[in-house]
């Protein structure tokens, strides 16, 4: 096995990113005891951490490029939900062995998403152990402008970006033997796209936001409880991922969209008067925006089968490996 | 098992710390998609991440309070080495099961060190899996004042804080059956004290610094190679941890001090003319400072047995469990 130092030197520096580049905010990149960053004057910092563990969050046999992409994407999704601009990340990886081809694929997936999202990897740690990746992401927004979970108002329209159910549908596709990343459902599951540009575009229009990592219903409950409100959903109008009905049937597709998790779309509440502006801004980013209900004073979530309300996020199906 | 959400709510908020407290810099603590932080105007940010994995970095049977303390301490030690003031951290923990007593002990150790060091835990992630803790720490210093590894000059005096060899000595003590945390060697290994105040005090006096996590020789090699210099060491004058010679003998104690790792003291280079000032500042903090050699133009490390130079950091002894 390569030493920790060799691994870090070889894979943690992205040759296509210059950490000293003007505008990167990176004063000192990987290689010292800490990275040194220059926050933008007048900004506040958004910080979030996410662990992706093999056989809990992704299959061991998933392509390395997807594992690298996904570990970063799920963390960046939290920045998107705050309306933050992504800036920097650090990554800790635990590896059972140092396989060159696997590491090259992992690094390719991770760094490619860094470049797309304008994020610089500024530090890391490598340990020998079961495959696990923990990414801490850092974003910025003008001071006082964080888009939180708790700002929703009764009467707000609830909207979601993109389409739902692809996370669950892709997981089912994987277990059914799908392996090609150009399968839209598998791509939705293994290569989620953090909605950073959409989050920034919605920041000044929206009252509240959360990313849909645990399933629409669970995350809507978080949004509601943070605001002390309830909601009514138009389940028939949920935007479903391409291919979802074909794979899971009508009822299964709706259950996946409501309870499946791993979609990494944004669930946002905003005043009805701003809906058209929001839609236009997201259309310019090529991101669909669909109204799916409203916040209301009455507690609970109306419009949803009561059984589904108790059926929240699950990791892998029981017994699957 | 408690749900992820319950665990987070119960153990990740420190009742003794108010995240909204004036001066904490915490605009929004745990519970939203991200924490929101207000960096100090005119400061730069130091960021580092460290993973502590069971049976690699600590024994599974170590007291939970020590595991919590140690996981944070090793990360904070990197801030100390940059001369940064510790501000915030996020923690991702993977747990095989949710044992209330264990979690309470872990949280007690983690939060107690937070309070001592002025750090606020602002976010986390909980996963079910092999025991592993990844802590990302954030510190600050006035812009441009980072204390790096690479600033050493030929002729600089090399100094270390505290005493060396305790990390290795404590590991040996653990395997010999020691279990009491008031054993000085075991405490050095399981409850290292990050040298944050010393790092800040030395920031404007020193040319370069690193923390001794991988062993004095390995870390000295990092300091030398970053500066393009060599060094000469006075091995006979190394400050040895209390009880080290009694446990390991004279030769074993020196080998532990040179190669053992896990000491989390600072190795610093500074001009000889500032040595006395540095010693006084650290004496006021009750931290010993010992001159152990010099940086020099000639490459390599003189004064050390050649066999030891090849004997770097090792995790647990081969086959130990």
Residue A15's pLDDT band, with cuts at 50, 70 and 90, is low
Average pLDDT of A21-49?
92
pLDDT of residue B20: 52
A180 and A289, same structural domain? Answer: yes
B313 pLDDT above the threshold of 80: no
Rounded-to-integer distance, Cα A165 and Cα A188, Å: 9
Residue B192: φ, ψ to 5°: -65, 145
Give the residue among A116, A104, A113, A130 at the shortest CA–CA distance from A52. A130
pLDDT of residue B315: 38
**Last residue of one domain, picked from the residues B78, B110, B142:** B142
A6 pLDDT above the threshold of 70: no
- Contact flag B127-A44 (C-beta cutoff 8 Å): no
Higher-pLDDT residue of A314, B319: A314
Query: Residues B62, B68, B73, B74: is their CA dihedral positive or negative?
Result: positive
Nearest by CB to residue B48, choosing from A82, A123, A132, is A123
B48 inside domain = yes
A163 inside domain = yes
Angstrom CA distances, A249 to A142, A165, A256, B169, B221, stand at 45, 12, 10, 63, 62
Nearest CA distance, A27 vs chain B (angstrom): 9
B122 and B161, same structural domain? Answer: no
Higher-pLDDT residue of A18, B307: B307
- Contact flag A94-B39 (C-beta cutoff 8 Å): no
Range of the domain at A303: 157-309
A206 and A99, same structural domain? Answer: no
Residue A314's pLDDT band, with cuts at 50, 70 and 90, is very low
Residue B311's pLDDT band, with cuts at 50, 70 and 90, is low
Average pLDDT of B303-321?
55
Residue B316's pLDDT band, with cuts at 50, 70 and 90, is very low
Rounded-to-integer distance, Cα B24 and Cα A37, Å: 19
Percentage of residues of chain B with pLDDT beyond 90: 83
Percentage of residues of chain A with pLDDT beyond 90: 82
pLDDT of residue B30: 86
pLDDT in tens, A135-180: 999 999 999 999 999 999 999 999 999 999 999 999 999 999 999 9
Average pLDDT of A228-253?
96
- Contact flag B27-A146 (C-beta cutoff 8 Å): yes
A147 inside domain = no
**Last residue of one domain, picked from the residues B78, B107, B142:** B142
Nearest by CB to residue A45, choosing from B37, B82, B130, is B37
A187 and A127, same structural domain? Answer: no
B264 pLDDT above the threshold of 60: yes
Mean pLDDT of chain A: 91
B285 inside domain = yes
A182 and A87, same structural domain? Answer: no
Average pLDDT of A97-119?
93
pLDDT of residue B98: 80
- Contact flag B127-A53 (C-beta cutoff 8 Å): yes
Rounded-to-integer distance, Cα A94 and Cα A71, Å: 13
A175 inside domain = yes
Nearest by CB to residue B90, choosing from A129, A136, A143, is A136
- Contact flag B82-A124 (C-beta cutoff 8 Å): no
Average pLDDT of B272-298?
98
Beta bridge partners of A58: A54
Nearest CA distance, B245 vs chain A (angstrom): 30
DSSP letters, A98-120, are --HHHHHHHHHHHHHHHHHHT-E
| Residues of chain B contacting residue A121, judged by C-beta atoms under 8 Å apart | none
Minimum mean pLDDT among A24-33, A46-55, B214-223, B305-314: which range? B305-314
Q: How many domains does chain B have?
A: 2
**Last residue of one domain, picked from the residues A85, A108, A142:** A142
- Contact flag B82-A36 (C-beta cutoff 8 Å): yes
Nearest CA distance, B246 vs chain A (angstrom): 32
Nearest by CB to residue A45, choosing from B31, B39, B48, is B39
Residue B54's pLDDT band, with cuts at 50, 70 and 90, is very high
Give the residue among B61, B49, B33 at the shortest CA–CA distance from B134. B49
pLDDT of residue A307: 72
Which DSSP helix (H) or strand (E) runs through B87?
strand B85-95
A 10 A CB-CB count for A305 gives 13
A188 and A130, same structural domain? Answer: no
A173 and A282, same structural domain? Answer: yes
Chain-centroid distance, C-alpha B49: 11
- Contact flag B136-A94 (C-beta cutoff 8 Å): no
Query: Which residue ranges of B are tagged as binding site for substrate?
Result: 57, 262, 313
Tell me what ipTM this predicted complex has.
0.93
pLDDT in tens, B224-250: 999 999 999 999 999 999 999 999 999
């Amino acid at each position: 096995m390569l030493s920790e130092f060799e691994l870090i030197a070889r894979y943690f520096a992205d040759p296509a990113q210059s950490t000293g580049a003007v505008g990167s905010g990176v004063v000192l990149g990987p290689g010292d005891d800490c990275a040194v960053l220059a926050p933008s004057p007048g900004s506040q910092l958004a910080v979030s951490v996410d662990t992706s563990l093999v056989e809990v969050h992704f299959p061991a046999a998933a392509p390395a490029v997807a594992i690298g992409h996904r570990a970063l994407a799920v963390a960046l999704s939290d920045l998107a939900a705050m309306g933050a601009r992504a800036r920097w990340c650090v990554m800790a990886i635990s590896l059972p062995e140092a396989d060159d081809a696997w590491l090259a694929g992992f690094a390719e997936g991770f760094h490619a998403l860094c470049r797309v999202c304008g994020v610089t990897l500024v530090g890391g740690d490598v340990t020998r152990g079961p495959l696990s990746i923990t990414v801490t992401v850092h974003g910025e927004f003008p001071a006082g402008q964080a888009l939180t979970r708790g700002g929703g108002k009764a009467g707000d329209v609830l909207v979601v970006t993109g389409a739902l159910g692809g996370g669950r549908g892709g997981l089912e596709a994987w277990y059914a033997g799908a392996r090609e990343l150009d399968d839209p459902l598998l791509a939705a599951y293994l290569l989620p796209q953090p909605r950073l540009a959409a989050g920034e575009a919605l920041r000044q229009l929206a009252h509240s936001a959360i990313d849909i990592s645990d399933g629409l219903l669970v995350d809507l409950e978080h949004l509601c409880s943070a605001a002390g409100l309830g909601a009514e959903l138009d389940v028939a109008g949920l935007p479903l991922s391409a291919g979802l009905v074909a794979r899971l049937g009508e009822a299964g597709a709706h259950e996946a969209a409501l309870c499946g998790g791993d979609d990494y779309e944004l669930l946002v509440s905003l005043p009805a008067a701003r809906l058209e502006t929001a839609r236009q801004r997201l259309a310019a980013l090529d991101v669909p925006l669909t109204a799916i209900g409203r916040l209301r004073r009455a507690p609970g979530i109306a419009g949803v089968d009561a059984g589904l309300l108790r059926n929240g996020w699950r990791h892998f199906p029981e017994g699957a490996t």
